[in-house]
Structure 1
Amino acid sequence: MPSIPLIAPNPPRFSDLAAELAEIEARGIFSNGGPAVRAFEAEAVARLFGGQGDCLAVANATLGLILAIRHAAGRRLRPGALALVPAFTFAATAQAAAWAGLTPLIHDVDPHTWASDPLIEEQLLARHGDRIAAIVPYAAFGRSLDLERYAWLARRHGVAVVIDAAASLGSCDERGLNFGAGAPFAVVYSMHATKTFATAEGGLVYSGDKDLIAALRQMGNFGFGSARAAEVPGMNAKLSEVGGVLAMAKLGQLDVVCDHRATLAQAYRAALPRLGAGFAEQAPMAKGRQALQFWSMLLPPALAAHRADLIAALAAKGIGSGHYFAPHLGMQPWFQANALIEPVPVSDNLAARVLSLPITDGMTVADVETVVDHLVDALALLAPDGAVAAPAVLACSVHETVLIGGGPAGTAMLTAASKQNRLAALTEGLAVVEQGAALGRGELGGYAIRSDSTAETFLSAVQDNVHPELAALVDHPAGIAMAQHIGALGAPLVDAGDLLAVTGDRLRDVARAHGASILTGHTALHARRESDGRWRTTVRDGAGQTRELLSRNIVLATGGYQCQQAVQAAKLAGGALGDLAGDRLVLSDSFLRLGGLDALCKRLTDVRSPRIAIVGGSTSALASAVLLLKADPALALGAGAITLLHRRPLRPFYPSREAALAEGFTDFSDADICPVSGFVYRLAGFRLEARELVLRMLAVGGRVPEPRLALFQLDQHGDAEARAVLDAADVVIGATGYRPRALPLLDAQGAQIVLASDAPEPGELVDRHCRLRDAAGQVVPGAYGIGLAAGFVPWGALGGEPSFRGNANGLWLWQNNVGQMIVDAVLPAEPGAIRQAVA
């Protein structure tokens, strides 16, 4: 055993409790909330929580969490319901949420407190709404949380809160009250032998709400009511009488133990400068006392790779150390398969750098000095000159293809390769550059609307995939959530984003396994064409370091954006939209994002009967109308309150000529029918929710038009009429399309290659083979594009109606024909490998 172990359990000695144990024997009551447990609960309320509220002692803290989360989730508990859980915590936090019937939604933490990042919590609450049944923050290593803020979140969002305060018995505020005192929700503490409040095993649930504790007490006793019959969900979570005796004894020792450990922590803190630059600790509490199970610090980034060496060096000197919590939750296989995991770069950093050092009841300040001395010696062995070199950064790496952008379009190309069973061949020489922390989601999950692709389309990317890691996603929580929308009018983009995110994680793993370089958190700055025809792409990471990637091909999957200047310059009613609408103009992209509707409603707070004009005939324009019409609570929209100003007739998609005629829709010709699929308005037609609205407005099949919406086709009205509509509007939503984000490209002499999308008269970024085009319309060799606003138009065997004008966007196309086209171009074709498909 090490002379200074990382953790030295120090529960009360049984030999000192002979009289109390004899009393248990004499009473013959060993469990079921006997006198010893009840006495401890009452004393804990009095000593720790100022006599306010109530406590429930349980067999262990995990059972306490399960009870509290299950009770708190209440009416929001249903298939697919979520619990917010930080990545940097012990597995029990998320396991308890799962046992309570919720899917953990694992998210990142604050880099200073190491607890849940408040901004991320609010972003996820906005994104997922009432699908989030509970927030389960972890009080990291006994550090207190802002409970008033969590009470406010609970009120504002109607969401349950349960605090995992496993290590916090003994953490107190400046008044001496334990962390959690007065909390309106459940706060759950551990009394495990390894904790500061050490017994053999046990947990304590506290709340300032006595009725809540009474409800949990009933649940913890099989759900029994007065008639010893189950009335509510229940389990056996009771602490034994022996556990109650141990807990009561430890309660009397707690202040001495915590004060001693705080002194040891201060000794570590004072010695930190001896270790050199770059070492850091968890931000200490501003007031009060933090109960400490051990002392954790962060190694400098350059030392992270040497953590195992440091732990081994300390062990050789009889000193225990560790790395709590590494791996964090997002790295653990069960959660990867059964939870939703957000990008967690801060937790990744903490897990890579954290080093936990001993703080035990038997240690002295001199022992802390011994630990630090040996750590300094170990550091000196690693770096005799006092500095550890950072891992070498490759100045230039060579690849076959560099994919710039790992969002929905970029990963769609990888999906297309997987469908051809060519993903391994593609990724063997691939580098992926993605500005975000992870592949897959991009910005898609940040929109408050439903997709114009079916749930089946999203699932088709993984269903029966040749890669088992991808095929298994149909049973992942994200796949299950998507399957619930099969047959519906699209899927919420929030859910689509979740599935794309976890698909991106799996594609990343497969790609890396076959040699790909996945550079998340990197920004591509520009690409220069070398004299030998290859591309030299310069990228920069989050620390500002640059590197170069040399490749035969580059693929731009950099997405599109709504250009404010272009929207303002849009011509109609004899003027520019920006001049006509002024400060009433709202970009559709902003409106359609999460929070956009709330912002618009706030803007119209004082308007009794608002009028809204939507300019454009795109999917975004129709989606804006749908979002307004479905607002909950409803906007006070009267008849014709929304006017859609559009140039071309609105066309609905139909799966066949016969289906259109059966509903009495005849406004099409042979030129509007795809010769490959037989679909009517395959490319130009609106689908799903937008299609239903168009059919209503056209009164097809006896449908009744939506009275709150009016269509205004610009070529059927004069400028004065159009201007009158705009003048009468309280808000004008500009939905005039997107432009591609094109990476700056340079020729061999360093001069910029002006792309077609950036020409004075902007054109399509790509040609019919997805090759980039310059301003003169010439192909840029070895450069390809895919994604929103790239300008690709299906042709030939890919289908599409002859009458179609414009460009086609859609995940199905990217994951099939378009993605396959680029894969074919950057990889040698294999006989029989190419499959053409029809959307």
Structure 2
Amino acid sequence: MINVTKTFLPPQEAYNAILKKAWDAGWITNRGALVLELEEKLKQYLQIPHVLAMTNGTLPLQMAIKALGLTGEIITTPFSYVATTSTIVWEGCTPVFVDIHPEYLTIDETKIEAAITPKTTAILATHVFGNPCAVEEIEAIAKKHNLKVVYDAAHGFGVTYKGKSIFEYGDISTCSFHATKVFHTGEGGAIFTNSEALKDKLFYHHNFGHFGPEVFQGVGINAKMSELQAAMGLAVLPHIKTIMEARKELVALYNNNLENLGSLRIREGTQWNHSYYPVLFKDETQLLHIQKLLNQKKIYPRRYFYPSLNLLPYVDKKNCPISENIASRVLCLPLYHDLSEDVVLTICNIINEGL
């Protein structure tokens, strides 16, 4: 069975050796030595000033909204994983959808200003499949209208744009370290900011508001990463170059053998991480036909992202024709570190013969 993705598992002895440090210390949660080590190594690898590791990739989004004091309306994309929208609603704000660029698949920055109202407090955009938004244009709009910017960079690990980590853009960026991601801690995530004051505020938020064992700085929740998760991250990180190079080669193989399908356009100036391989069919009927052919061979791509989030039952409906069209005909093909070239060629042959 070939799934859309597969977890990279480091050598078990390497994981166990790291985990033994937590066992020997008798400390497996509450920001132990392994979490601190992982944060420092991520700072070095990503070349960013502030990293706060967390237990999943959704809590950082919720905390970003809380820490920035956002209220009212938040402009966002309809083409993302559901957590991007549900987080806004969960925090008592209103998502205002702006349609996407038909090739980059990120929020269309030329349509943002028209959606701004007196109730708008922020822009929450997604670097789709690790493909950067138009960050410079978004920053200019935000400064002009005094808005905050949060980036859902769930797929953005290792991506750089114009020589800088994608996590450096915006007031806050977030990432998922879920088992399906390029870099993972089993479950996990992180939050990034260039502001030390904001980092301190986020720290209190993610640890019940603690300022020492008996003093509380403010309201908080429990979003801390455990030592078990950090150990996995420390065991995976040394392999990240190998993981990314393998994925890059497989993407090139797909590209060379799927010339009749639309694909993601990577923004100029980007060093991409090859996190997913989305293809675009001419319509939903063609997609469903190809999906069925692949499933018959026990190959399971994923309709990702689907549906367009402006169609969710708990949001105010707004027409986003490009996002709705893309969501109806986009399919992510299998892509992971040890996927064989023969399987990729088989997938391409099934698709090409079925078109």
- Do they fold alike, i.e. is TM over 0.5? yes
Aligned to 1:404: none
**Are 1:180 and 2:176 an aligned pair?**
no
The correspondence of residues 94-493 of structure 1 with structure 2, limited to 5 A, is: 94-125=85-116, 128-129=117-118, 131-173=119-161, 175=163, 177-181=164-168, 183=169, 185-226=171-212, 228-273=214-259, 275=260, 279-301=261-283, 304-333=284-313, 335=314, 339-379=315-355
Counterpart of 2:302, as a letter, is: G
Aligned to 1:438: none
- Deviations 1:672-718 (CA, angstroms, capped at 9, x unpaired): xxxxxxxxxxxxxxxxxxxxxxxxxxxxxxxxxxxxxxxxxxxxxxx
Aligned to 1:6: 4
Contact 2:185/2:230 (8 A) holds in 1: no
Whole-Å Cα distance in 2 between the matches of residues 8 and 150 of structure 1?
Answer: 34
Whole-Å Cα distance in 2 between the matches of residues 45 and 149 of structure 1?
Answer: 26
Secondary structure of 1:116's counterpart equals coil
Counterpart of 2:238, as a letter, is: G
Contact 2:258/2:352 (8 A) holds in 1: no
Normalised by the length of structure 1, the TM-score is: 0.41
Counterpart of 2:266, as a letter, is: P
- Deviations 1:370-401 (CA, angstroms, capped at 9, x unpaired): 2101112223xxxxxxxxxxxxxxxxxxxxxx
- Superposed structure 1 runs of 4+ greater than 6 Å apart: none
Segments of 5+ residues of structure 1 without an aligned counterpart are 380-839
**Are 1:71 and 2:67 an aligned pair?**
yes
Counterpart of 1:55, as a letter, is: V
Secondary structure of 1:205's counterpart equals strand
Q: 2:44 aligns with which of 46, 53, 69?
A: 46
Aligned to 1:608: none
- Deviations 1:36-92 (CA, angstroms, capped at 9, x unpaired): 11111111111112xx421000011100110011111x2x53xxx111121111000
- Deviations 1:418-463 (CA, angstroms, capped at 9, x unpaired): xxxxxxxxxxxxxxxxxxxxxxxxxxxxxxxxxxxxxxxxxxxxxx
Cα distance change of structure 1 residues 296 and 23 upon mapping to structure 2, 3 Å threshold? same
Shift of 1:174: 6.0
Contact 1:61/1:191 (8 A) holds in 2: yes
Aligned to 1:55: 51
Whole-Å Cα distance in 2 between the matches of residues 235 and 14 of structure 1?
Answer: 32
- Deviations 1:301-329 (CA, angstroms, capped at 9, x unpaired): 3xx21322211111112322121111121
Whole-Å Cα distance in 2 between the matches of residues 233 and 119 of structure 1?
Answer: 37
Shift of 1:94: 1.0
Aligned to 1:27: 25
Whole-Å Cα distance in 2 between the matches of residues 124 and 174 of structure 1?
Answer: 28
Whole-Å Cα distance in 1 between the matches of residues 209 and 130 of structure 2?
Answer: 31
Secondary structure of 1:367's counterpart equals helix
Shift of 1:332: 2.3
- Higher relative contact order structure (alpha carbons within 8 Å, sequence separation ≥ 6): 2
Contact 2:177/2:188 (8 A) holds in 1: yes
- Deviations 1:718-761 (CA, angstroms, capped at 9, x unpaired): xxxxxxxxxxxxxxxxxxxxxxxxxxxxxxxxxxxxxxxxxxxx
- Deviations 1:798-817 (CA, angstroms, capped at 9, x unpaired): xxxxxxxxxxxxxxxxxxxx
Whole-Å Cα distance in 2 between the matches of residues 115 and 174 of structure 1?
Answer: 17
Whole-Å Cα distance in 2 between the matches of residues 227 and 42 of structure 1?
Answer: 24
Aligned to 1:610: none
Contact 1:11/1:199 (8 A) holds in 2: no
Whole-Å Cα distance in 2 between the matches of residues 123 and 95 of structure 1?
Answer: 23
Contact 1:169/1:196 (8 A) holds in 2: yes
Whole-Å Cα distance in 2 between the matches of residues 211 and 93 of structure 1?
Answer: 25
Contact 2:151/2:170 (8 A) holds in 1: no
Structure having the higher Rg: 1
Normalised by the length of structure 2, the TM-score is: 0.94
Whole-Å Cα distance in 2 between the matches of residues 186 and 12 of structure 1?
Answer: 30
Cα distance change of structure 1 residues 107 and 173 upon mapping to structure 2, 3 Å threshold? closer
Whole-Å Cα distance in 2 between the matches of residues 13 and 185 of structure 1?
Answer: 37
Contact 2:106/2:132 (8 A) holds in 1: no
Whole-Å Cα distance in 2 between the matches of residues 187 and 285 of structure 1?
Answer: 18
Shift of 1:9: 1.6
Q: Work out the number of aligned pairs and report it.
A: 355
Counterpart of 2:281, as a letter, is: L
Whole-Å Cα distance in 1 between the matches of residues 83 and 110 of structure 2?
Answer: 24
Counterpart of 1:40, as a letter, is: L
Q: Using the aligned pairs only, state the percent identity.
A: 26
Secondary structure of 1:137's counterpart equals strand
